[in-house]
Structure 1
Amino acid sequence: MTVSNISRGIRVGVIGIKGMGWSNLQSILKISDVTCTAICDIDDEVLRQRLHELKQRNIHPQPYKDYKQLLAASDVDAVIIATPDHWHCLQATDAMRAGKSVYVEKPLANSIQECDALIAVKNKYKSIVQVGQWQRSQQHFRDAISFVHSGKLGKIRTVKAWAYLGWKKRVPKMPDTHVPDGVDYLAWQGPAKRGPFNPNRFHYNFRWFWDYAGGLMTDWGVHLLDYALLGMRVWAPKSIMATGGKFAYPEDAGETPDTMTAVYAFDGFNIIWEHATGIGRGPYEREHGIAFIGNNGTLVLDRNGWEVLAENGRMEPVSIQKKADIGLDLHMANFVEAVRSGREELLNAPIEAAAHIAKLSHMGNIAYRTGGRLTWDRNDEQFIETDANKYLVAKYHNGYVLPKV
């Protein structure tokens, strides 16, 4: 969006309007000079529902089923991409090439190779790209990391991040069936392998299939491990180990592990990731969180707030510091500010930072899938164990190809 366009406000289009796309739109519309001019979804029923809801607010966007038609529209300045992970790279690339500013849901991409490709595209087109890691805009997360950086915890030897989701139930096996009326399932599958329609491989449950996503590791892990990296001022581990499986629901339809532990080795400390479905009581009695475990004390952080637990009187504890804002709203305001000004450096979750955490999460999944300890070559950006490198690349089908600049 050019500076000359700022006076008339920012016109937003949304690609994928069912789940987070709808939440993101509700948030950005709280900003006074933002309007919604276009929405896109491959499901007619979803489009009908959203058009009806927006009409009640006197908002009348143009509906599309083909996202490329939305990107070609002259009345769209910025686009929100909230489709399944396997579409992020291609749609974000097309949006940047179309001259749009981009807000893309996390994870940035569904493979390490796609992360690098997206950075190259962004650098070519000088695009404004914010990634939906909204915790980076929330004040209590920032305050917690400032405390970690103060050194008061002493030497930090372990950082633990976790998601114990008691509400996450099994994905029951269901037979293949006909494509629902009004659904363009070929477009939904896009670069993924073609197959018959199955309700489990559609809408929210896409997260539990390797063709489209990376399970809880690239869902919650991207959010929480991001803060582990921020707190420790690192990104590339020396080695990664992971183990787990479908221990909670061994017979359900999903492919990704419902129980998993990953250990990332850095110089002088480890970062440990844990996730489990069907269990809600995680470490420190929190279903999710990040714990920075130092010699003097442990800082425990989640979406509700943070506190410091002192180690045998070596420091003063800090009582719970509760959240006082809405992270998604602040994140959208940050995106709009960067779009208005054309200043990429204002972004709280720029594409480079999002690539770091997406890569780290994919590394954990690759270690799980290969079943061994993997060593990361920081210079060549690949594993020393060459058999694992096949998981770095994007697996495109149906004529789709990785974006190149």
Structure 2
Amino acid sequence: MDTYSRRRFIKTTGGALASAMTAGLGLNRQSPGSPAERLSVGLIGCRNMGFGLLQHALKVPGVVCRGLCDVDRNVLEGRRRDVEKQTGETPPLYSDYRKLLEDQELDAVFIGTPDHWHCLQTIHALQAGKHVYVEKPLARTITEGELIREAARTYGKVVQVGQHQRSGAHWQKVVGMIRDGHLGSLRTVRLWANFDYGKGPERLPDEPVPEGVDYDMWLGPAPKRPFNQNRFHGVWRFDWDYGGGLITDWGAHLLDIPLWALEIDGPPQSVSSVGGIFSGEDRAIDMADTQSVVYQFEDVNMVWEHNGGLQTGPYERNYGLAFVGNRGTLVVNREGWQVIPERDGNQPLVREIPFRESGEGGHGAHVANFIDSIRTGAELNCPVEAGRLSAFYGHIGNIAHRTDERLRWNEAGALIGRDRYEHLITPQYRSPWQLPRL
């Protein structure tokens, strides 16, 4: 039986599930220990998102920065000054994350590096006995995500994936409404992400490695290539060696919501994709800037769309989700949500709910949940399996597009004809780096 058919059970138990989910956050509980219990954390990848996570962590009583690691000395020095300003303390600096992990006093690390580094750094941190908060998507490939899942089970440490929407109150509310069957039987879940940056960066010539950058370490397990600014800070995700484009960037967040709400825990029956580079601009991009992906389940479709270079979209939102049911449609993004009823003549089939702004939650709450889980055993809002699954759905959309084939899974959840796609499922690491073995 397809995993999605479990929705019939969910409809009758959704209220209890939603209540349990909210109660499990652990953010407002009283810790049985001191709220100022010392927790030493480090950061690997300091430029943008990673440093924002560290700033949130340092606002939690008892959390101290034990070290900063980055391959760009210019970034590293700037972040050292930022930490000094926030805490009054000077953290040790590292250019090689493995040296940071040797610190026996280090309890946990935040990983904010490009996707091609997530697998090695997460697993090495777990092997060193550290708890891990790793940014999304969990991994650059399907096999790497599976390896991280196994490592989390093997080493028994807390691993939070940075899909921070799960710590947002209005996302929890929406998930509860879907599980309660508020919209009736679902027909389609639409997801879209229209962002200007999705058309890719400008084309630039290769150039010498900037002073202070350990470029070989930045590449790590990825293939050896000349340095290029449009494959470096902030724009690497449109190159297949490092990322997967909009569907693994924003898709890790948006695809996660229906998987969470419908309790989907396996692959779809099939997935197909169409698209291409349709922006009309000559940009540095390896993947489709315009893409549609259809995920087919037993009794519902899930449709992903992105249009890089555009900033408008359905329901006057440039990104979001629409749960389309027989009784109405629920539209949601980070700004808020609403319910649009279907009608029988003039009679609405469900109560209309005008747009409601989002409530509390986000990166700060997600980091707090991670720290609370380390200290008290509180339930994680986004454990490894949730991160692995949303990344998996992004990856299979890309694989379907790159191969121009409709991928199908058998009743046991195995990809039919997997051998044909293995080169896209399992990466080949550049020596001396090796794919972890557990």
TM range (shorter): over 0.9
Counterparts of residues 239-278 of structure 1 (less than 5 Å): 239-278=270-309
User: Do 2:198 and 2:245's aligned partners in 1 also have CA atoms closer than 8 Å?
Assistant: no
**2:106 matches 1:76:** yes
User: Do 1:11 and 1:36's aligned partners in 2 also have CA atoms closer than 8 Å?
Assistant: yes
Alignment partner, residue 158 of structure 2: 128
User: Do 1:82 and 1:104's aligned partners in 2 also have CA atoms closer than 8 Å?
Assistant: yes
Residues 147, 177 of structure 1: alpha-carbon distance in 2 compared, 3 angstrom cutoff: same
Alignment partner, residue 346 of structure 1: 379
**2:48 matches 1:15:** no
Higher mean C-alpha deviation, range 274-283 or range 100-109? 274-283
Residues 110, 377 of structure 1: alpha-carbon distance in 2 compared, 3 angstrom cutoff: farther
Secondary structure of 1:401's aligned partner? coil
Choose the corresponding residue for 1:298, options 329, 350, 360.
329
Alignment partner, residue 402 of structure 2: 369
Alignment partner, residue 315 of structure 1: 350
Alignment partner, residue 356 of structure 1: 389
Counterparts of residues 183-194 of structure 1 (less than 5 Å): 183-194=213-224
Secondary structure of 1:244's aligned partner? strand
Unaligned runs of 5+ in 2: 1-31
Q: CA deviation at 1:52?
A: 1.5
Task: Say how many residue pairs are matched.
Answer: 401
Counterparts of residues 2-401 of structure 1 (less than 5 Å): 8-57=37-86, 58-166=88-196, 168=198, 170-235=200-265, 236-312=267-343, 313-341=348-376, 343=377, 346-377=379-410, 379=412, 381-384=414-417, 386-401=419-434
User: Do 1:249 and 1:258's aligned partners in 2 also have CA atoms closer than 8 Å?
Assistant: no
Query: What amino acid does structure 1 have at the position aligned with 2:123?
Result: T
Query: What amino acid does structure 1 have at the position aligned with 2:359?
Result: A
Residues 162, 393 of structure 1: alpha-carbon distance in 2 compared, 3 angstrom cutoff: same
TM-score, structure 1 normalization: 0.95
Q: CA deviation at 1:169?
A: 5.5
Secondary structure of 2:234's aligned partner? helix
Secondary structure of 2:194's aligned partner? strand
Query: What amino acid does structure 2 have at the position aligned with 1:43?
Result: D
Higher mean C-alpha deviation, range 165-174 or range 395-404? 165-174
Secondary structure of 2:295's aligned partner? strand
Partners of 1:115 and 1:167 lie apart in 2 by: 26
Secondary structure of 1:179's aligned partner? coil
Unaligned runs of 5+ in 1: none
Query: What amino acid does structure 2 have at the position aligned with 1:276?
Result: N
Partners of 1:254 and 1:326 lie apart in 2 by: 33
RMSD: 1.7
Partners of 1:385 and 1:32 lie apart in 2 by: 48
Higher mean C-alpha deviation, range 189-198 or range 310-319? 310-319
User: Do 1:382 and 1:389's aligned partners in 2 also have CA atoms closer than 8 Å?
Assistant: no
Q: CA deviation at 1:170?
A: 4.4
Partners of 2:328 and 2:74 lie apart in 1 by: 52
CA deviations over 1:207-244 (Å, ceiling 9, x no partner) = 00000010001100010010011222214201000111
Partners of 1:228 and 1:374 lie apart in 2 by: 20
